[in-house]
Amino acid sequence: MLKRKLIVAALSLLTLAFSMQPIALAQARGSGLSISPTLTQLTLNPGESKTLTYQIRNATIGSINAVPSVEDFAADGTTGNPKLLTGPGQSSPYSIKNFVYQLDQVPLDPGVQKNISVGLHIPDGTAPGAYYGVITYKAVPTTGSASAPGQVSLTASVGSIVLITVPGKIYQQVQFSAIHIYRGSNDATLFFTKPDKIGIEIRNLGNGFVQPFGSVEVQDMFNKSVDTFQFNNPKQLGNILPKSTRIFTNSFTGVGGAGRYKVTASVSYGTGGDVLIMQKTFWYIPAWLAIIILLVVAVLLFLAYKAFTHHRRHGKSFRRRS
């Protein structure tokens, strides 16, 4: 009976594996694009124009049309990654939609790469500050290009972020909001397994892009430095959008034995004239030690309860004899 069940189970797994294979092949035949560069940062004055050049490639086996658009976005407060504002009524006060022209559809045969040009023009009277958006291209299969039996035509989009600074009265001001200590995705101050990441949360209060930088030091309970690092990669500083918050997360090591640890972060921005400092403490208690502490506390509570009940019984007995 057991042998028969094992044979049936094996046949079922083989059937499932073969039934999934065509789906994977169909997905591999979908329409897709690649674009380069993925980020452009510019400073343009009102009345000034600029031509952007992109390399766009059809990475599939079918002919496609790359259909362009300009999208607004907001920053994800944790990673800084863009979140497209495509819902009804969603827009950005920092949009570049009115700056972009010469945005043409591009036909692409399989495996072909083309250089394309996109025009930018800053209208006269544009207020100083930061403006941003994403120039996207959507891969749409041309008529009759997705004719293979069982093929599923997928539509993919790629985008390149454009950050534009219009010079003038631009003020920079940041708020050092918090220090976060993580174990995986868990943000806490008490850990039973060693924490592995530190997040520096900063808010941009100004009207331009801000690229904060600084150092982080971790000390143990004896004020001994156990780890230091620089946050926000100095080789390619990440931006914080105006009126937005971003958490810069770095891995760290150095947490050894149980005890209290202190994190000190120093944050600078702009020319580095202002330095903001914040500290935060966290505790690391290994799980085995936490279990021992809980057992000791439980035993002490039990003994206290026994002593209390014994005292009550002894007191009642003494009062009766009296």
Asked if residue 16 belongs to a domain, the reply is: no
The answer to whether residues 188 and 128 belong to one domain is no
The answer to whether residues 132 and 197 belong to one domain is no
Residue 61: what pLDDT?
Answer: 82
Residue 151: what pLDDT?
Answer: 38
Tell me which residue range forms the domain holding 141: 31-145+153-166
The answer to whether residues 185 and 281 belong to one domain is yes
Asked if residue 56 belongs to a domain, the reply is: yes
Residue 5: what pLDDT?
Answer: 41
The answer to whether residues 206 and 223 belong to one domain is yes
Contact 58, 108 (CB under 8 A): yes
pTM as predicted: 0.75
The answer to whether residues 162 and 185 belong to one domain is no
Asked if residue 244 belongs to a domain, the reply is: yes
Contact 268, 239 (CB under 8 A): no
Asked if residue 314 belongs to a domain, the reply is: no
Residue 314: what pLDDT?
Answer: 65
Could you report the per-residue pLDDT of 104-131, keeping only the tens digit for each?
Answer: 999 999 999 999 999 999 999 999 999 9
Residue 59: what pLDDT?
Answer: 85
Cα–Cα nearest to 161, from 77, 54, 263, 268: 54
The answer to whether residues 43 and 159 belong to one domain is yes
The answer to whether residues 161 and 179 belong to one domain is no
Domain end, chosen from 166, 201, 236, is at 166
User: Which residue in the block uniquely carries the two structure tokens 């004896």?
Assistant: 222
The answer to whether residues 138 and 263 belong to one domain is no
Asked if residue 38 belongs to a domain, the reply is: yes
Residue 157: what pLDDT?
Answer: 84
Asked if residue 306 belongs to a domain, the reply is: no
Residue 82 corresponds to which tokens in the numbers above?
A: 């863009």
**b or e along 238-263 (b: 16 or more beta carbons within 10 Å of the residue's beta carbon)?**
bbbbbebbbbbbeebeebeeeeebeb
The answer to whether residues 94 and 141 belong to one domain is yes
Domain count for the chain, please give it: 2
CATH code: domain of residue 246: 2.60.40.2550
Asked if residue 297 belongs to a domain, the reply is: no
Asked if residue 11 belongs to a domain, the reply is: no
CATH code: domain of residue 103: 2.60.40.10
pLDDT mean values, one per 10 residues, the chain (322 residues): 40 32 32 86 96 92 91 80 82 94 92 95 96 93 56 66 95 93 94 95 94 95 95 84 93 93 94 88 89 86 82 62 56
Residue 33: what pLDDT?
Answer: 87
